[in-house]
Amino acid sequence: MALSAPNEGLRPSQSTYGAKDITVLEGLDPVRKRPGMYIGSTGPSGLHHLVWEVVDNSVDEAMAGYCTRIDVTILADGACRVVDDGRGIPVDPHPNYKNKSAAEVVLTVLHAGGKFGGGGYKVSGGLHGVGVSVVNALSKRLVLEVDRDGDRYVMEFANGGKVQKKLAVEGKAPRGRTGTIITFWPDPTIFEETEFRGQTICERLQMYAFLNRGLEIRFRDEREGATTTETAYKYTGGIIDFVRHLNAAKEALFKKPGYFDQSEQNQEVEISFQWNTGYNEGIHSFANGIATTEGGMHEEGFKKALTNVVNKYARAKGHLKEKDENLTGEDIREGLTAIISVRLADPQFEGQTKTKLGNVSIRSLVERATNEKLAEWLEEHPTEGRQIVQKGIQASRARTAARQARDLIRRKSSLEGAGMPEKLRDCSTRDRRLAELFIVEGDSAGGSAVKARNPEFQAILSIRGKILNVERARLDKMLKNNEIQALIAAIGAGVGDDFDVTKIRYDKVILLCDADVDGSHIRTLLLTFFFRQMRPLVEFGHVYIAQPPLYSTVIGKAKTYLKDDAAKERFLAEQAPKKFEFQRLKGLGEMDFDELGETTMDAARRTLLQVSVEEAAIADQVCSVLMGDDVEVRRQFIQANAKDVRFLDI
């Protein structure tokens, strides 16, 4: 394809640009036109985002002190229903919209809600005001029921938010009940699939319950064959219980999590913390119930004060000698699990994703609270204080050894193309935006992949067997492992706190593993390594899982490949009553290189699964369960998720 000179082909004589070329999208049309702008994607994450938007409104009612219970139900026909016992969406006429109730405005007008001022909410999570209207826009049908003043009001929408039935009283509300009921059916013309995953919903609902002490949240799945039929979450300990939950699969350094809180004017902070014997840092922060996965001012304040307080305490108690250096923040935070939850009247999030908090005032509050309250806690818990300091000293010694190992790896790969792993078959392009790295287990599969690749932009790194389980190893030990050294050198952006995602050598890092149990284990080990030691690689969407087929069959003279057992069953249902013979593709090494290229590596025909981290706290806990030492907890997790295997892509 030739590149034209600037503005070539766009001269006034060749095209016109006038008023008729301006398209105006009204009402909810912009949402249906560009759904990704509002919910991120039209895949499974976007589908579940609809649930979060509705539940967020109910949680805001709880934070305002008006809601004590939320019920989320997946109906037999696949719809989602959210019920709360809050005040109920206002039903009186809206002063700025003729012949429209406030409820209709909320459901049909973007940026309409009770969170932009006035007395509706002092603190809320859903700040953009597009939540429930976006759900309406992306649903083939939505039913609103509101219980207020003893009456039940009902309104219906269909086909992307068009009013089918105006708001009207349809009987009396149950005695003494107030609240909102929203039932919606996702639009199959918008979403790639419309089947909700019960476990995904349960994980998020449990997090809401942890962050809102005393709020009861119930989940029910009425679909046939549901794995999680009914679950209830309610935590009187709030974020203390959250820390216990995150550390359940780990060995805690001391028994009871610490806790402190503080408030001033229109903002408050509560923090719970507990160290474990592991080597990974797990600080998870929230602002008004929203997960701030990129941190922000509240995390900055906590980390700065934590480093100051622990060093001051260690020196005062003689655990650190005058000649010793201070412990670094990295040393002190090794093995720390902490929840930082702040609430404030006017949160300033960086970007529409609400993943980083920018309020300077909350940093000051968190820093002061940690300096005062954590110092008091350490004085009151000398045994725990000594354990924390000793762990930090051990981490400091290991950090020195790890730095030496990192420097060695860095020196080996400092020159482009030099010091690369022996098993790396690099690509020719130097444009990392185009480059892909396939990580393949075994020489046989690696050889097939090398033959099947496009050498211009596809690189192959063969690894030997199962890499070290980094969940159970310190960085200094990890860096002695040959396979991990090869991964670090090939990706070229460092490791741990030194990792710099802007320096990666490949835009896509693709895990190409067999479609069997061993392949799943290798993939899990690799994902754990990336999540723990190269997390930005995952957070910025650079990690993918290849989808090699498990079966092949022949239709006429053409070979058809099927990803898994579910795909095989669908194929048989579509082709019934014809009979087919299937070949089970046991491993990548047994596939011809042309088969591997056609099904798994050809960019035009392959299917890649992008790995994302929407909830860092949930991902942290899953890594700990799957790769930790507690066999019983892991067994329970696998049993709970066994029937959802298609979502796990193993």
Catalytic residue IDs:
441, 514, 516, 518
SS3 28: coil
The helix or strand, by DSSP H or E, that contains position 336, with its residue range, turns out to be strand 336-344
Q: Cβ distance 111 to 102 under 8 Å? A: no
Nearest of 618, 622, 613, 643 to residue 205 by alpha carbon:
618
Amino acid at 590: E
Q: Residue 582: how many CB atoms within 10 A of its CB? A: 15
State how far Cα 294 lies from the chain centre: 11
Q: Cβ distance 270 to 259 under 8 Å? A: yes
Nearest of 457, 405, 420 to residue 435 by alpha carbon:
457
SS3 192: coil
Burial of 511 (0-12, 13-18, 19+ CB in 10 A): buried
Q: For residue 641, what are the contacts with CB-CB under 8 A and spacing of at least 6?
A: 199, 227, 648
Q: Cβ distance 334 to 281 under 8 Å? A: yes
Tokens 């000398």 found at = 382
Prior bond to 577 cis, omega within 30? yes
Interatomic CA distance for residues 197 and 188, integer angstroms = 16
Interatomic CA distance for residues 13 and 491, integer angstroms = 49
Nearest of 544, 495, 538, 496 to residue 523 by alpha carbon:
544
According to DSSP H, which parts of 5-157 are helical? 29-33, 36-39, 44-63, 102-108, 131-137
Ramachandran angles phi, psi of 349, nearest 5°: -95, 145
Interatomic CA distance for residues 492 and 501, integer angstroms = 9
Q: Cβ distance 239 to 211 under 8 Å? A: yes
